[in-house]
Amino acid sequence: MTLFTLYAIGGVGLFAMGLFSFVAVAHLLRKILALNVMGAGVFMVLIAIAHPERAATQATGVDPVPHALVLTGIVVAVSATALALALTCRYHAETGRATLPEDGPGNEGSGR
């Protein structure tokens, strides 16, 4: 097993774990964490792709593009996480709950 596959499979594993947690758990903080785990998984896959074993650019050692993508992705993830946390705080402050209401089709959609 090469380092590349190790990283890639690790990334896939993280992605799936995050996904499972995201779907299965209702607590908002855990959902946000799960999203970050998923994100980390994707980033790991990207970094694995950049590994010299695969990257054709021998001189630079690694393929810089996925690294740049990961950096961009991380910043996006940070922003999204901040927004999600801010909303969760607000929601919690107003309702005292940390889970979204489970609403069926009947009471979905509330105007104002």
20-49: which residues touch another protein (CB under 8 A)?
20, 22-32, 35, 38-39, 41-42, 45-46, 48-49
Other CB atoms within a 10 A radius of the CB of residue 33 amount to 16
CB 26 within 8 A of CB 99: yes
What is the spatial distance between Cα 93 and Cα 103, in angstroms, rounded to a whole number? 20
Q: Provide, rounded to whole angstroms, the least separation between the CB of residue 94 and another protein.
A: 5
111 is a contact residue toward another protein (CB under 8 A): yes
102 is a contact residue toward another protein (CB under 8 A): no
Other CB atoms within a 10 A radius of the CB of residue 58 amount to 7
3 is a contact residue toward another protein (CB under 8 A): no
What is the spatial distance between Cα 59 and Cα 26, in angstroms, rounded to a whole number? 48
84 is a contact residue toward another protein (CB under 8 A): yes
User: Binders of another protein: how many residues, by CB under 8 A?
Assistant: 83
51 is a contact residue toward another protein (CB under 8 A): no
